[in-house]
């Protein structure tokens, strides 16, 4: 942990909880009665927790999930949208997708039910997605007269291809977990009872890797989305050079020569 930086707390608010176990934190959207719809207060709290997680070296990977069996997240609480006094205020709100994308740590998303609208955007803001067999994914905003606003179109096109993205965006109809797996929207589908243990196990494996390298790999992947190939390769090589100079890289080489597990410190 960085000097003077507190360890992330075990709880956040009643609607958003953070549980830390070793190097893995589980962040849970906890409004199951409202299908984990996100209020403006929850969006602000998520931003605070992201800043807290970015400031500590204790947590190395985050699992994001929703409470209950019905929903991961159905996006913004529509009933709260009336609290914005103008479209300008709405457009300048604290966006939870932006907040999650600002998290430097790898994020494993465990989708346990509906991932609709902003919930779909939030899932795509993570790095690896695992779904329960009961999960469904939808961009339903078009049925209400608007479209998504947190990278929905761009992220869908990257994840499922332009035609499948158009199908979801123009109909607003849901896609089940099996179809999401076939399209590449998720990496794995599990039985409902196996979802969180599987996500935790994967997060634990990621947390065993060199933290600087893991965060750099995430940054490199995101940058590659918007770069031509030659620029992306040059950027990757620069990041590789930075990683190669770390104490963890030296430890990795030493551990390999000594045929033992490396002891990474995030330096």
Tally of structural domains, the chain: 2
Would you say 25 and 63 are in contact if contact means Cβ atoms under 8 Å apart? yes
DSSP state of 257: H
Tracing tokens 């507190």 back to the chain, one arrives at 6
Among 36-45, 71-80, 107-116, the range with the most confident prediction by mean pLDDT is: 107-116
Higher pLDDT, 247 or 50: 50
Identify whether 98 is part of a domain: yes
- The pLDDT, as a whole number, for residue 248 is 87
21 and 150 fall within a common domain? yes
Helices (H), 65-210: 87-91, 96-101, 118-125, 152-160, 162-171, 177-183, 195-207
pLDDT class of 148 with cuts at 50, 70, 90: confident
Identify whether 105 is part of a domain: yes
> Which strands make up the sheet holding 188-190, listed edge to edge?
16-21, 24-29, 61-66, 107-111, 128-132, 188-190
203 and 85 fall within a common domain? yes
DSSP state of 78: G
236 and 186 fall within a common domain? no
For range 228-253, the mean pLDDT: 89
Identify whether 263 is part of a domain: no
136 and 217 fall within a common domain? no
Residue 141 designated active-site = yes
Give the Cα separation of 27 and 218 in Å (integer): 19
122 and 254 fall within a common domain? no
Catalytic option among 45, 69, 80, 121: 121
% of the chain surpassing 70 pLDDT:
88
**What token pair was written down for 114?**
């509906």
**What token pair was written down for 82?**
């009336």
Identify whether 37 is part of a domain: yes
Residue 121 designated active-site = yes
Give the Cα separation of 47 and 148 in Å (integer): 20
Identify whether 5 is part of a domain: no
Q: State CA 170 to chain mean position distance.
A: 25
pLDDT class of 1 with cuts at 50, 70, 90: very low
192 and 253 fall within a common domain? no
- The pLDDT, as a whole number, for residue 266 is 82
200 and 245 fall within a common domain? no
Burial of 47 (0-12, 13-18, 19+ CB in 10 A): middle
Q: Which of 207, 222, 247 delimits the end of a domain?
A: 207
Would you say 166 and 154 are in contact if contact means Cβ atoms under 8 Å apart? no
Give the Cα separation of 43 and 174 in Å (integer): 25
For range 38-67, the mean pLDDT: 94
71 and 199 fall within a common domain? yes
**What token pair was written down for 147?**
């479209």
Find the CATH number of the domain harbouring 108.
3.90.226.10
Give the Cα separation of 14 and 55 in Å (integer): 23
Catalytic option among 141, 193, 208, 236: 141
Burial of 53 (0-12, 13-18, 19+ CB in 10 A): buried
Domain that holds residue 159: 16-207
167 and 85 fall within a common domain? yes
Nearest to 248 by CA among 221, 210, 215: 210
**What token pair was written down for 24?**
């893995």
């Amino acid at each position: 942990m960085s000097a003077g930086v507190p360890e992330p707390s075990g709880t956040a608010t009643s609607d958003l909880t953070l549980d830390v176990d070793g190097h893995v934190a589980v962040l849970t959207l906890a409004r199951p009665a409202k299908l984990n719809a996100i209020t403006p207060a929850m969006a602000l709290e998520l931003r605070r927790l992201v800043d807290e997680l970015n400031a500590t070296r204790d947590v190395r990977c985050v699992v994001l999930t929703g409470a209950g069996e019905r929903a991961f997240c159905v996006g913004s609480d529509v009933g709260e949208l009336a609290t914005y006094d103008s479209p300008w205020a709405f457009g300048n709100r604290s966006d939870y997708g932006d907040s999650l994308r600002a998290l430097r740590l790898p994020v494993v998303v465990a989708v346990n039910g509906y991932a609709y609208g902003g919930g779909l955007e939030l899932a795509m803001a993570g790095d690896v997605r695992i779904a329960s067999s009961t999960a469904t994914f939808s961009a339903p905003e078009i049925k209400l007269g608007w479209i998504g606003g947190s990278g929905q179109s761009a992220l869908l096109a990257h994840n499922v291809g332009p035609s499948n993205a158009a199908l979801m965006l123009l109909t607003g109809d849901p896609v089940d977990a099996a179809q999401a797996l076939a399209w590449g929207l998720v990496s794995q589908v599990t039985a409902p009872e196996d979802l969180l243990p599987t996500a935790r196990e994967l997060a634990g494996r990621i947390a065993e890797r060199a933290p600087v390298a893991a965060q750099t790999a995430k940054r490199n992947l995101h940058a590659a989305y918007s770069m031509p190939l030659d620029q992306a390769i040059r950027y990757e090589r620069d990041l590789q050079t930075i990683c190669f100079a770390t104490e963890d890289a030296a430890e990795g080489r030493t551990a390999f020569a000594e045929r033992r597990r490396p002891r990474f410190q995030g330096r």
